[in-house]
Structure 1
């Protein structure tokens, strides 16, 4: 049994290494096609190394028996996001290849709904897989917001940074870490962000329409986060009240026993 577990662990690590290799291959293809500069190359390579390192550490900690088909889809999406990241970084030095940027982003967004279905169909859903999927989504939104902010201003970064701000706030207020109830509205708003930012980044819309789309994305995301924070705050107060009531009853019992 120990030998099988070791073999599976090595196989899982090999898959993450293959993912990093595919990322480098994609960068090479982009570099050949568009003549990507140093900023794009360095950013893309940094993304590949960071993804491999973080994912390898998470896999070592959770020790799954196999990487799983759903995680392979998510890793493929991460590779596409790495390409988008490299293109956005390169756009600071030269005119961005909008077609390549839109194409990679569109495929990554389409595949966003595939990995979850694969996980459910193959009964391979795991907390690590869900977290991996969420982090890839969040980083893509951040990168797209950086790109769009070059046209409309730094306020667009609020779209990409809101989730990371929430995570940072949860370190200060632990009640934000409580599990939220399922919400179709939350899922819809999250899916809207990538679509809206992609429409704006594509350049296919007039400037006014593009700005309107981004404002709608920011407004809906602010509403969604605000609603969740209010629910978490109310939930934490209810839990605090329940704990206080239990402690009070326990104290009364001790006093009754003592008397």
Structure 2
């Protein structure tokens, strides 16, 4: 595909780690006119569905497997075979060339170079979440340990930061209070040539955050509740639980998104 292909010029990729608000961001942008195609609108761990294309998810799972990895065991490098490229191009061809379209799949952070080959003028928006909130959610959904969850958080969000440095896209934080989250959506939509809904964004609700029962509660504090079983009950064991590298990267993302 050339740099001027209409499909490439209208594409938007939503970047972010698993359990970090990619579904919420995709659903919100869909309200503003982003065409997602046929996506999952119901899932056990996503009240409004994960908004993922089964075809894209299947391709990326197969791609990671072919490179000796998986979403929860990222390979050191991802090489796209001719078969994977053909499947990618067939998927892209299903999207209309007269609409702003896009997709979300956290695996895209691991496979992005191959998408850039086909969509050189693609635009991005990114989302992140506090590492402990992600860890609590991954443990609840997949039984992944705190240590492994934080390692995954670091891997995915390093890539998010690297791509932000390269492409300078807007970031949003899934931990933000509803009002601030909505305010950022009001900035993101027009920047992507989307239209803010006349009645505002209704997709986002604080209850979409797993581990949070009320929008008045701090999602990170609630994540600690979910992590008690991982950390045990030893006094002060939770102190300093975040590795310095994780803490530093989270701080960088906060500063960029502020």
Taking structure 1 as the reference length, the TM-score comes to 0.28
Name the structure, 1 or 2, with higher relative contact order (CA <8 Å, separation 6+): 2
Larger Rg: 1
Structure with greater strand percent: 2
Taking structure 2 as the reference length, the TM-score comes to 0.28
